[in-house]
Amino acid sequence: MGVYEAGGNGSNGTTTATTCNCCDMSLRCWCRWKFGNHQQQQQPQQNHHNLLHQRLVSLVFSSGFMFFLGCLVLYGSIGMFYGWLVFSKPYSRSTNVGVGLHSLGCQEDNEGSWSIGVFYGDSPFSLKPIEAVNEWRDEGAAWPVANPVVTCASLSDANFPSNFVADPFLYVQGDTLFLFYETKNSITMQGDIAVAKSTDKGATWQQLGIALDEDWHLSYPYVFNYLGQIYMMPESSQKGELRLYLALNFPLQWTLEKVLIKKPLVDSFIINHAGIYWLFGSDHSGFGTRRNGQLEIWYSSSPFGPWKPHKKNPIYNVDKSVGARNGGRPFVYDGNLYRVGQDCGETYGRRVRIFKVEVITKDDYKEVEVPLGFEEPNKGRNAWNGARYHHLDVQHLSSGKWIAVMDGDRVPSGDPVHRFILGSASLAAVTVVAVVLGVLLGAVKCIIPLSWCANYSGKRNNALLGRERSNLFSSKVRRFCSRLNRVPLCVRGKIKLYTWAGKLVLAVTIVVGVALMCTGVKYFYGGNDAEEAYPLNGHYSQFTLLTMTYDARLWNLKMYVKHYSRCSSVKEIIVVWNKGRPPRSSDLDSAVPVWIRVEDQNSLNNRFKRDPMLKTRAVLELDDDIMMTCDDIERGFNVWRQHPDRIVGFYPRLISGSPLKYRGEKYARRHKGYNMILTGAAFMDHTVAFERYWSKEAKAGRELVDRYFNCEDVLLNYLYANASSSQTVEYVRPAWAIDTSKFSGVAISRNTNVHYKIRSNCLLKFSQMYGSIAGRKWEFDGRKDGWDL
């Protein structure tokens, strides 16, 4: 990069400068970096060092290099602005109110971000997540409780820093459940065995601590009972042996009982079937063994051994997608034995697979795959188990029901490294684009320094010259460099910037550079693309999304449903259809169930109608023409869970003055306060809000709403204010929000002046009916105003 000028006069020891033609199609490459004249030194080595120094100085200050550097600075500035605009979050995530994850725990890990969920069913093949059974917990503001129930934050908040939790096993003692699982210690970066306890069928878990910590990696804590004693057989493949531990003081104190097998077995279990103890495990240390595709079986008359190998070992040594590696505890259902395997085809631990054992003897083993009946998540990375789930422990309770624990991850294995590689490749491509721009604009006339080219007539180190003559590969490289240096002038000869085609090529090159830089920034700073839910007191929950629309806004609805149904905490979507022919649910691309409620009358009051279909306490009333990020939605839901008695939303208003006048958000910000939240984008407790709206006291207000076909949100704010003297509304500032109706021309309030005049009349009427709210005012809270959480 730069203009290379050089010339040599070998007889008198002086150097003259001549301008080279980088597009000369002869065998010589007459391009080199521009050098100033220099004095000959007496000693050849010193002369060589001075020459290198002058070349370096000439390179750094050459016009081509300065252009290249300027391009990188410009693209870097664009990338920094893009990163600030899109990925910077002025608020911090938190697991509890006021407690952030800026601790040692929950660090990004190349192995993943595993967490654990609870499932229930009438059989092992009809399992449903805990949110489907509608378990409510007031103390956790979870209505209903939702998966995951144990995460890295659960353990980290209990002062046991963890990067992820995985490989869950249940141990049932009456009505108490104990959960043993692997936790990756955030300090030692090693797997330990942790334990938690639940007395409410797995809805909430008390973290008891670390049950087993050795000097090597531990995982897969298979816990079982034998003759009244409780044993644990964790994976200890790093130690090179399979160990059995006995509980001294269950569940936290264990001692080594016996080394069962001197082999580095992974994911092993023992089961008593037909009077024989069978040990299943995988040994990946053997020559020719297919990793995650191998399975071996041993048998014995006792869980303590001695263990004899099965005649057909290895049972499997196949592709890793088959499900050979164990993925949890085997179970018996209707007299049949089932083995849980894990499919590692697409990525490690992609999914669990169930195999029905048809034959198991000392000489033979046969199994066939059967469907689990588990509905895979379709919210992508926004789902806690959207990318993979690789472990299942299902057990039969004394009540006759089945309970299961399953781990899951929202990202595939190696995701951070994958993003780093793609980000680095994007930034490398930006440097190439910068060179191309220099070539097009004439700032870069040659790409490779002359000393790398063949037939270079300037001075070079004698040792290098000798090596070049004897090295065919070096000679070929120099000839390639010579040809590469002819490219710039050839390109400029074919692409004329004063033509429309040349200008188009230049514009496209600039845009490609910007796109590549933004892509690189996205991979480096954009995280894993997941817009996760925000836990409160360690619990997750879900809400119902409710919108009201009609046939002219169908395209809004389709976009709306496709986007918001992928948000992590959305359980269902209810569409209140006010006018026209309603669409079918199958016409909408949704990741959650969509219910279309067709109304007989086109009324805005239908927005707050009591509905037996509602299964969650929280309802997000969100107009179909408002688009915002799932992360903003999740933040709003978290704030509402802290204040379920309030209307929590994203559009504040300040009602004041005499006479009362309806004004926009700018007025509220200018006066640094608000006393109303528009319910076109707001969370509320439907058991409270809808009852108030349809009470006898609100009848006159509802009639006014029908008369004006407006003001239903204003009425609800008045009803809340009339019911309490404390704060009744809460504002959460979104990162951004787009009103898509502006692009379609079907906005209800297209004439802002008329819309505001009608609302001002509503304020006067409602103040006469329910009392004024003008005397109320709450300042914008920086914590919920988007700056912290």
Could you list the active site residues?
713
**Cβ 289 vs Cβ 317: under 8 Å:** yes
The two tokens of residue 8 are 């040599």
CB 8 within 8 A of CB 457: yes
CB count, 10 Å around CB of 748? Answer: 14
Determine the residue type at 27.
L
Q: Which of 678, 392, 637, 426 is nearest to 532 (CA)?
A: 637
DSSP tag of 41: P
Find, among 606, 560, 611, the residue nearest to 587 by Cα.
560
Amino acid at 361: T
Integer-rounded Cα Rg, in Å, for the chain is 35
Answer yes or no: are the C-beta atoms of 698 and 720 closer than 8 Å: no
Find all residues with CB under 8 Å of 100, minimum gap 6, and list them: 92, 93, 94
Spatial separation of the C-alpha atoms in residues 298 and 577, rounded to whole Å:
62
Q: Is 698 exposed, middle or buried (0-12, 13-18, 19+ CB in 10 A)?
A: buried
Contact at 8 Å (CB) between 289 and 311? no
Q: 234 near 244, Cβ under 8 Å?
A: no
Tokens of 247: 């509980």
Tokens of 94: 């938190």
Kindly report the number of other CB atoms within 10 A of residue 235's CB atom.
Answer: 26
For 507-601, where are the E strands, in sequence order?
Answer: 540-541, 543-549, 570-577, 594-598
* DSSP conformation letters of 359-400: EE-SS-EEEEEE--------SGGGSTTSSB---EEEEE-TTS
Joined together, the tokens standing for residue 762 give 């509503």
Max CA pair span of the chain: 111
What CA–CA distance (Å, rounded) separates 94 from 537? 9
From CA 378, how far away is CA 368, in angstroms rounded? 27
Tokens linked to 396: 């039969």
Q: Answer left, alpha or beta for residue 399, where phi above 0 means left and psi between -120 and 50 means alpha.
A: alpha
Neighbouring C-beta atoms of residue 762, cutoff 10 Å:
24
- Which residues lie across from 37 on neighbouring strands? none
Q: Which residues contact 94 (CB under 8 A, 6 or more apart)?
A: 100, 101, 534, 789
Pairing of strands 570-577, 594-598: parallel
338 contacts 318 by C-beta, under 8 angstroms: no
Long-range CB contacts (within 8 A, 24+) of 65-73: 65/1, 65/2, 67/1, 67/438, 67/441, 67/443, 67/444, 68/1, 68/431, 68/434, 68/435, 68/438, 68/443, 68/444, 71/433, 71/434, 71/437, 71/438, 71/513, 72/430, 72/431, 72/434
